[in-house]
Amino acid sequence: MELSTLLLMRQELALTAIILILLVSEIFLSKENKGVVVPLALGLMVLQTILGFIPIDYGNLFGGMFQNSELTHLMKNILNVAVLVLFLQSASWLRKDVLEQGRGTEFYLLILSTLLGMYFMISAGDFLMFFLGLELSSLPLAALAAFDIYKKQSAEAGIKFILSAAMASGVSLFGISMIYGVTGSLYFDEIAAAFSFGGLEVLALVFFFGGLAFKMSLVPFHFWTADVYEGSPIPVTSYLSVVSKGAAVFILTIILFTVMKSMQDVWRDVVYILAILTMTIGNLFALRQKNMKRFLAFSSIAQAGFLLLGIIAANQNGMAVVVYFVLIYVFSNLGAFGVVQAISLNTGKENIDDYEGLYRTNPKLSLVMLLSLFSLAGIPPVAGFFGKFFLFIAAAGEGYYWLVLIAVINVTIALYYYLLVVRAMFLRKNDNAIPLFKSDTLLRVGLVICVLGILVAGLYSPLYEYIFGLSAF
Amino acid sequence: MERIIFYIFAAAIILFSLFSVTSTRILRAAIYLFLVLVSIAGLYFMLGYHFLGAVQLTVYAGGIVVLIIFSILLTEQIDSRMPAPKLGTMILSGAVAVIGATVSIFAITGHNFETTPETVNAGTVEKVGERLLSYGEGGYVLPFEVISVLLLAAMIGAIVIAKRPKSDEQTSE
What pLDDT shows up at residue B117? 67
Choose among B162, B61, B141, B63: nearest CA to A146.
B162
CA distance A58 to chain B (A): 18
Q: Where are the domains of chain A?
A: 3-470
Contacts of A65 in chain B (CB under 8 A): 142-143
A435-462: average pLDDT: 85
**With an 8 Å Cβ cutoff, are B153 and A1 in contact?**
no
* Reported ipTM: 0.88
**With an 8 Å Cβ cutoff, are A202 and B107 in contact?**
yes
CATH annotation of B1-84: 1.20.120.1200
Note which residues in 125-184 of chain A have CB less than 8 A from chain B. 128-129, 132-133, 135-136, 139-140, 142-144, 146-147, 149-150, 158, 178, 181-182, 184
Q: Where are the domains of chain B?
A: 1-84, 120-173
What pLDDT shows up at residue A84? 94
Q: What's the pLDDT tens digit per position in A104-142?
A: 888 999 999 999 999 999 999 899 999 999 999 999 999
Per-residue pLDDT band at B166 (split at 50, 70, 90): low
**With an 8 Å Cβ cutoff, are A62 and B142 in contact?**
yes
What pLDDT shows up at residue B121? 58
Distance of CA A112 to CAs A116, A132, A144, A264, A411, Å? 6, 15, 12, 34, 34
Per-residue pLDDT band at B122 (split at 50, 70, 90): low
B97-104: average pLDDT: 91
Helix, strand, coil % in chain B, rounded to nearest 5: 75, 0, 20
CA distance A384 to chain B (A): 35
Q: Are A144 and A118 in contact (CB under 8 A)?
A: no
pTM of the entire predicted model: 0.91
Cα–Cα dist B108/B86, whole Å: 33
**With an 8 Å Cβ cutoff, are A199 and B137 in contact?**
no
CA distance B20 to chain A (A): 16
Q: Report the residue of chain A nearest B100, measured CA to CA.
A: A203
